[in-house]
Amino acid sequence: MSDTHFDFIVIGGGSAGYAAARTAHGEGLRVAVIDGAAELGGLCILRGCMPSKTLIESADRYISVRRAAEFGLKAQPLGVDVKAIRDRKRVLIADFAGYRQGQLEDGRFVLYRGHARFTDAHTVEVTPRDGTASFSVTSRYFCIATGSVAQVPPIPGLAEAGYWTSDEILDAEQLPESFAVLGGGAIALEMAHYLEGIGRKVTLIQRSAQFLTGMDPECSKVVEQAYTHRGITCHLDTKIHRVTLVNGRKHLEYTHAGKETSVTVDQILVAMGRYAATEGLDLHHAHVGLSGKKISVTPTMQSSQAHIFAAGDVCSPLDVVHVAIQQAEIAARNAARLSRGEVASEQMDYRLLLFGVFSHPQVAAVGAGEKELEEKGVPFVSASYPFNDHGKSIVMGETEGFVKMLAHKETGEILGATCVGPHATELIHEVVIAMHYRSKVQEFMLIPHYHPTLSEIWTYPAEECADQLEPV
């Protein structure tokens, strides 16, 4: 085999790309990884999950200090050192990124630092970052894992006025006093929480009538109420018309619930979604089909070309890390099957689709929602229970939100769950595990739960669902 011919080439060395490469190597394939970034590590480590959660940790702690008197404590919120928060983030991220870089460079794979583009269905041209001449590499199988980039809609005047995306806010040494956060997805809610948490004035401007489009609308109501209570201005059902610069500040004009309104702020954070990073890959040369900008994939993670797989944000129905890794591992194992002359038989299963938002209160959901079950005609029962009637959350002073469970009306199998409230992103895992083992509400309600804990709140909707079951 020539030096530049491989069994499996992975384009992109982020969460999906590394998982694909690691798995393919474990399957005995000769693997190369091509990554064009200045810094190795991928979105999650460098500009996604880990930096955002590091900043949010500071906001969460500052909120505790702000609420000290409520718990009989004498403490004063003396201020926030944004540079120190940013520096702590830099130290942690450098450590995580260094570890990932070590994994990519430990000799298991050939690593090319450069931009990749297809020249035909089995050949990729690499343009090295160091300015040396481009060269071609070939492979029997590929996994495209190039991730996503921030989407900035063409709002008149926005580009001229200037704005930040999550990239800028996560590494800012100073933060101005007031922000308009555009969007109502995870990034908008998490960053609004961070900014308000450390004392900034925030106006959240969301296009549709609810936050977290696609999730249970009740989650949106709880977050809207909680954020409004904290002093965040929440404007849903909006249409942004234009942005102008007024005395160096940014003036946004928009329609809110049918009325013309405006706000003037120091900085705008655009959190209006991300799109798949497929531009520049010259996928037409490889005849790889797209759906919009995303690569269309089968449940086996194969594109329209059976030997070209994809994984992660570039093709995923949900841009989150654990799904990206699962898809990548399946892609690599299926490529290995093909290389052995077998069928690419392993499929992604989205039954346990899991999503969590590190807002305050947090939001998390697993499995199907009510709308999905209604559309599919699945008979189900549902029950919810509020945190303001639960002992442990009352003790903690975290009473906003609820848990909800959905179960099959005849069998009682748990089909989905939603949680808005304290530690929701942790609490949801109890239901994930139950659903993994296809637990029924009748069984779940009998599992011992320690008292008083947040976790025991799940037993209430489980019992109520069990009461509603219709025996077949």
Ligand X SMILES: Cc1cc2nc3c(=O)[nH]c(=O)nc-3n(C[C@H](O)[C@H](O)[C@H](O)COP(=O)(O)OP(=O)(O)OC[C@H]3O[C@@H](n4cnc5c(N)ncnc54)[C@H](O)[C@@H]3O)c2cc1C
Ligand Y SMILES: NC(=O)c1ccc[n+]([C@@H]2O[C@H](COP(=O)([O-])OP(=O)(O)OC[C@H]3O[C@@H](n4cnc5c(N)ncnc54)[C@H](O)[C@@H]3O)[C@@H](O)[C@H]2O)c1
List, as residue ranges, the binding site.
Answer: 53, 146-148, 183-190, 273, 313
| Ramachandran area for residue 328 (φ above 0: left; ψ -120 to 50: alpha; else beta) | alpha
Cβ-based nearer residue to ligand Y, 272 or 297: 272
Cβ-based nearer residue to ligand Y, 210 or 393: 210
The first and second tokens of residue 164, run together, are 């930040």
429's CB contacts (< 8 A; 6+ apart) are none
Q: Provide φ and ψ at 172, rounded to 5°.
A: -75, 135
CB of 95 to ligand X, least distance (A): 17
Cβ-based nearer residue to ligand Y, 110 or 432: 432
Total residues belonging to the chain: 472
Catalytic: which of 25, 251, 436, 451?
Answer: 451
181's CB contacts (< 8 A; 6+ apart) are 188, 191, 192, 195, 202, 203, 204, 205, 268, 269, 271
CB of 42 to ligand Y, least distance (A): 13
Per-residue b/e over 186-195, b at no fewer than 16 CB within 10 Å?
Answer: bbbbbbbbbb
Residues of the shown chain interacting with ligand X in the complex, contacts defined by CB under 6 A: 11-17, 34-37, 42-44, 48-49, 52, 115-116, 145-147, 166, 187, 277, 280-281, 312-314, 319-321, 324
List, as residue ranges, the binding site for NAD(+).
Answer: 183-190, 273
Cβ-based nearer residue to ligand X, 17 or 416: 17
Residue 268, binding choice from ligand X, ligand Y, none, Cβ under 5 to 8 Å by partner class: none
Residue 13, binding choice from ligand X, ligand Y, none, Cβ under 5 to 8 Å by partner class: ligand X
Q: How far is CA 254 from the centre of its chain?
A: 28
Residue 317, binding choice from ligand Y, ligand X, none, Cβ under 5 to 8 Å by partner class: none
Query: In 105-200, where does DSSP find H-type helix?
Result: 158-161, 166-170, 186-197
Residue 115, binding choice from ligand X, ligand Y, none, Cβ under 5 to 8 Å by partner class: ligand X
Residue nearest to ligand Y (CB): 185
Cβ-based nearer residue to ligand Y, 215 or 465: 215
Residue 147, binding choice from ligand Y, ligand X, none, Cβ under 5 to 8 Å by partner class: ligand X
Residues of the shown chain interacting with ligand Y in the complex, contacts defined by CB under 6 A: 153, 182-188, 190, 206-208, 213, 240, 271-274, 318-320, 356-358
Cβ-based nearer residue to ligand X, 357 or 368: 357
How far apart CA 177 and CA 249 sit, in angstroms, is 11
| Ramachandran area for residue 54 (φ above 0: left; ψ -120 to 50: alpha; else beta) | alpha
**3-state class of 335 per DSSP?**
helix
Q: Does 229 qualify as catalytic in the annotation? A: no
Per-residue b/e over 286-325, b at no fewer than 16 CB within 10 Å?
Answer: bebebeeebbebeebbbbebebbbbbbbbbbeebbbebbb
**Angle, helix 186-197 to helix 49-66, in steps of 10 degrees:** 40
List, as residue ranges, the binding site for FAD.
Answer: 53, 146-148, 313
Residue 369, binding choice from ligand X, ligand Y, none, Cβ under 5 to 8 Å by partner class: none
The residues that are catalytic are 451
